[in-house]
């Protein structure tokens, strides 16, 4: 059972981590709680479905979907978020409105019936006695490569340094000559790139349907808060904890597997009793 | 000029009144952006077109045509949409009758609205016993407006799915020599499934001579009805050593299950209730991975339950290019309603209710006679349903086939619906368990 939890938990961790990192980056740098983040993940899943089913071929479909999502996301940022970026409550409502709008647009164009994207690799492999779909492994590899790429960008490049500086303190970064608005737009694009890749990676695994963004949004919000708002490392670790919590519920409380998300969130609440600022967040007193 | 305009307005108004007076408005209730609701609508439109083309419904010398009103209940999602939609249909669209409905949770609320407004609601899509039991019998005056056409109530659905499960258990014993197959249950988290899950869990380990399956229950998993992946649940089912997984799905999670089950080639045979597997697009929806799924169903390729079944299926396929789902039972609902109105020779609600209560109608589903709860009677000579398995790219019926409803009292009564074929254990499941 431990092996099953480990293997399944890893797959979910990869997907949640990609989403949480993108979401955490945008919040950390731009202080934007983008509730439309997972809606772009949903649109990416539909994008790969559409391009793949209209004969574009998978590599071209991936490129078109990714570029489309990043371009659309930056346009949404410029049009809806940037003008109200200083007003947090307005940003929340605006991004939620964008998410619902995207869902309804998808509903109009594709309908509500579940869609299927053929796997890049069919079949399965036994890993430590656990049946793992080859597509799950592809997803895991995509997640790992995406996260390594993001880590490399953030820790080994000048842009990464600017992003981390802006994430730590926007005002000081600004004083140091970093164009914080430009960095925020770049981070928005980077976050959406990760969301698009996550959507593309899960499309062959999950059912593609207009409501598929809601549950991941809850998990991503929880992961970011659990890890500590603004902490990228915290977002990643929060995502992994919640993914393993969800999978563990399925194996340990089978009759309550529909409660997987609820129990994962309960674990988050329990952590707050011990560390109200999250696992890697700085306390309000420290910030002051 | 003024009087001319007044005259015109009056004429148009009078014409409108006279036209609306010759129309019976029927609200077709369903989640219209989902396949279940789409089939509600399709079944109803076919019936309405046929009835209207045949001259409509004559009541007291006046001929009425049927006008359908699409009532999108959006009932797959929790929320107040369903109730609002039905209330709007009654108050704004002025429907005379209602047919359809799907989710029990929404139906409980929608039928309350129908009862408030004293509108007859022919349920075509929701199975929960509690929609009628404890309502029609306990408070007849309030709930006499409710009748169920399809599917049969949960207790009977459970009975059908038990028979199918027994069939599969026997096939495992016969073909693989597994005397005590292990049975897992994977059921969506929805009210209608609870009773079925409880009964199967109880019966799984009960010896055959005591009416059980003589197997072993190894666990129950209840994913959300809107889950987008059940790979973890299936891994857990495999780890539990199950040979057979009993499914209870009415919503999109059924597609998710079929896809993950076939994609990962989990070595368990899937049988039970999976509404999505009744749809013609099942294999496409599951990416081709849904082959060998077995489910309780209503319609199957080439199987004539009654003389009305095949003409309806053929017409439905010709019109819409696919097999009807059970929610297309709105077709029968409209015919039964029309039949009751004709017999009552009245559109008065109480008269139509009395006529409905004495219905004896051969529908596409079987012979429909209502019991005291306003539920269709289940059993031989009435409605039984089918056991359907996806074989060779088509839904084939494997039950009723050599079915003995009561071997003790009626040993000679053996029912085989023409066109049924034997159940087939999925090849990868057979390969996995052969010789073990």
> Mean pLDDT for each 10-residue chunk of chain A (288 residues)?
78 87 84 90 95 87 94 90 86 92 91 82 81 85 88 89 85 87 88 92 86 89 85 87 86 77 82 83 50
pLDDT at residue number B224:
85
Neighbouring C-alpha atoms within 13 Å toward the C-beta of B17 = 6
Contacts of A48 (CB under 8 A, 6+ apart): A61, A62, A65, A117, A199, A200, A203
- For domain B155-297+400-433, which architecture applies? 3-Layer(aba) Sandwich (3.40)
Fold (CATH) for A2-287: ABC transporter involved in vitamin B12 uptake, BtuC (1.10.3470)
Report the gap between the CA of A192 and the closest CA in chain B (Å). Answer: 21
Residue B419 scores a pLDDT above 50: yes
Return the residue matching tokens 């780890």.
B239
- Which residues neighbour A265 within 8 Å (Cβ) at sequence distance 6 or greater? A218, A222, A242
Does residue B297 carry a pLDDT above 90? Answer: no
Cα–Cα distance list, A74 to A78, A99, A148, B287 (Å): 6, 14, 23, 33
Q: B51: which DSSP letter?
A: H
Among B31, B76, B286, whose Cβ lies nearest the Cβ of A116?
B286
- Residue B5 scores a pLDDT above 80: no
Contacts of B411 (CB under 8 A, 6+ apart): B404
Rounded (5°) CA angle B152-B200-B304: 35
Contact B229 A206 (CB under 8 A): yes
Yes or no, beta carbons of A207 and B256 under 8 Å apart: yes
The answer to whether B34 contacts chain A (CB < 8 Å) is yes
Q: Which residues on B lie below 8 Å from A207 (Cβ)?
A: 228-229, 252, 255-256, 259
* Amino acid B16: pLDDT: 42
* Beta-carbon contacts of residue A163 (< 8 Å; ≥ 6 apart): A25, A29, A153, A154, A183, A186, A187
What is the assigned CATH class of domain B22-151+307-369? alpha beta
Closest residue of chain A to B187, computed from CA coordinates: A255
Higher-scoring residue by pLDDT: A150, B143:
B143
The pLDDT, as a whole number, for residue A115 is: 84
pLDDT at B11 over 90: no
pLDDT given at position A287: 44
**Mean pLDDT (whole number) for B83-112:** 93
Q: What is the pLDDT of residues B398-410, one digit of tens each?
A: 998 888 888 888 8
Residue B178 touches chain A, beta carbons under 8 Å: no
B398: enclosing H helix or E strand: strand B394-399
Which two three-digit tokens encode residue B357? 């209560």
Of A137 and B293, more confident: B293
Distance of CA B25 to the CA centre of its chain: 23
Q: Residue B300 and residue B295: Cα distance in Å, rounded?
A: 11
pLDDT, residue A113, reads 78
Strand partners, B150: B124
- Tell me whether residues A258 and B285 touch, CB distance under 8 A: no
Query: CB distance A119–B263 less than 8 Å?
Result: yes
Residues 211-270 of A with CB under 8 A from B: 211-212, 215, 246-247, 250-251, 254-258
pLDDT in the model for residue B25:
97
C-alpha dihedral over B373, B374, B376, B380, to 10 degrees? Answer: 50
Distance from CA of A283 to the nearest CA of B (A): 36
Give, in order, the Cα–Cα distances in Å from B377 to each of A42, B108, B148, B300, B326.
45, 21, 10, 21, 17
Question: Mean pLDDT throughout B341-361?
Answer: 96
Q: pTM for the complete prediction?
A: 0.76
> If you measure CA to CA, which chain B residue comes closest to A255?
B221
pLDDT of residue B8: 47
Least reliable range by pLDDT among A117-121, B232-236, B387-391: A117-121
pLDDT at A253: 77
Mean pLDDT of chain B, nearest integer = 89
- Nearest residue of A to residue B76 by CA position? A112
pLDDT at B32: 92
Residues of B in contact with A135 (CB under 8 A): 263
Q: Which residues of B touch A104 (CB under 8 A)?
A: none
Chain A residues closer than 8 Å to B225 by CB:
258
Q: What residues does CATH 3.40.50.2300 cover in chain B?
A: 22-151+307-369, 155-297+400-433
Question: In what helix (H) or strand (E) does residue A15 lie, and over which residues does it extend?
Answer: helix A2-30
Instruction: Give me the pLDDT at residue B2, please.
Output: 52
For chain B, say whether A111 makes contact (Cβ under 8 Å).
yes
């Amino acid at each position: 059972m431990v092996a099953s939890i480990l293997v399944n938990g890893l797959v979910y961790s990869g997907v949640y981590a990609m989403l949480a990192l993108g979401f955490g980056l945008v919040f950390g740098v731009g202080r934007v709680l983008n509730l439309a983040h997972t809606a772009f993940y949903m649109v990416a899943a539909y994008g790969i479905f559409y391009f793949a089913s209209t004969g574009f071929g998978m590599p071209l479909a991936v490129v078109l979907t990714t570029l489309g999502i990043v371009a659309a996301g930056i346009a949404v940022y410029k049009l809806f978020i940037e003008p109200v970026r200083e007003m947090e409550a307005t940003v929340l409502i605006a991004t939620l409105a964008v998410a619902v709008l995207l869902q309804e647009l998808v509903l109009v164009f594709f309908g509500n019936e579940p869609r299927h994207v053929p796997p890049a690799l069919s079949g399965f492999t036994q890993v430590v006695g656990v049946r793992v779909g080859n597509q799950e492994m592809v997803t895991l590899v995509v997640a790992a490569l995406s996260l390594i790429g993001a880590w490399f960008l953030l820790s080994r490049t000048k842009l990464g340094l600017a992003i981390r500086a802006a994430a730590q303190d926007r005002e000081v970064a600004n004083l140091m000559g970093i164009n914080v608005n430009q960095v925020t737009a770049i981070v928005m694009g980077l976050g959406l790139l990760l969301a698009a890749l996550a959507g593309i990676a899960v499309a062959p695994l999950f059912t593609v349907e207009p409501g598929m963004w809601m549950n991941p949004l809850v998990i991503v919000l929880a992961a970011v808060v659990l890890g500590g708002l603004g902490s990228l490392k915290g977002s990643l670790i929060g995502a992994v904890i919640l993914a393993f919590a969800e999978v563990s519920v399925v194996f340990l409380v089978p009759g309550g597997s529909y409660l997987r998300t609820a129990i994962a969130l309960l674990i988050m609440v329990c952590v707050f009793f011990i560390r109200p600022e999250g696992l890697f967040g700085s306390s309000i007193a420290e910030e002051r | 000029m003024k009087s001319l305009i007044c005259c015109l307005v009056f004429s148009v108004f009078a014409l409108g009144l006279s036209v609306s007076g010759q129309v019976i408005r029927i609200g077709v209730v369903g989640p219209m952006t989902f396949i279940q609701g789409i089939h509600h609508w399709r079944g109803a439109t076919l019936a309405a077109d046929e009835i209207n083309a045949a001259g409509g419904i004559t009541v007291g010398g006046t001929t009425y045509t049927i006008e359908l009103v699409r009532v999108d209940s959006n009932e797959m999602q929790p929320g107040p949409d369903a109730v609002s939609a039905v209330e709007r249909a009654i108050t704004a669209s002025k429907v005379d009758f209602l047919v359809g409905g799907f989710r029990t949770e929404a139906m409980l609320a929608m039928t309350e609205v129908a009862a408030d407004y004293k509108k007859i609601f022919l349920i075509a899509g929701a199975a929960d016993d509690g929609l009628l039991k404890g309502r029609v019998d306990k408070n007849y005056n309030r709930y006499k407006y409710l009748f169920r056409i399809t599917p049969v109530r949960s207790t009977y659905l459970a009975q059908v799915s038990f028979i199918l499960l027994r069939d599969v258990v026997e096939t495992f014993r016969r073909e693989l020599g597994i005397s005590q197959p292990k049975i897992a249950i994977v059921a969506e988290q929805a009210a209608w499934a609870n009773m079925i899950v409880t009964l199967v869990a109880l019966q799984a380990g009960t010896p055959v001579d005591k009416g059980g399956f003589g197997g072993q229950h190894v666990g129950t998993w209840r994913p959300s009805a809107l889950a987008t992946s059940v790979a973890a649940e299936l891994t857990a089912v495999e780890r539990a050593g199950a040979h057979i997984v009993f499914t209870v799905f009415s919503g999109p999670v059924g597609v998710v299950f079929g896809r993950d089950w076939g994609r990962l080639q989990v070595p368990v045979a899937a049988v039970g209730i999976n509404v999505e597997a009744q749809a013609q697009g099942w294999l496409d929806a599951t990416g081709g991975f849904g082959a060998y799924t077995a489910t309780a169903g209503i319609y199957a390729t080439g199987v004539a339950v009654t003389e009305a079944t095949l003409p309806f299926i053929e017409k439905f396929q010709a019109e819409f290019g696919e097999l009807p789902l059970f929610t297309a039972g709105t077709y029968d609902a409209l015919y039964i309603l029309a039949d009751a109105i004709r017999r009552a020779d009245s559109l008065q609600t109480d008269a139509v209710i009395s006529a409905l209560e004495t219905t004896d109608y051969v529908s596409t589903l079987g012979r429909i006679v209502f019991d005291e709860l306003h539920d269709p009677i289940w059993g031989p000579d009435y409605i039984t349903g089918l056991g359907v398995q996806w074989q060779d790219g088509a839904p084939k019926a494997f039950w009723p086939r050599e079915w003995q409803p009561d071997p003790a009292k009626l040993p000679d009564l053996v029912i085989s619906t023409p066109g049924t074929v034997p159940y087939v254990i999925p090849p990868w499941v057979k390969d996995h368990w052969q010789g073990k």
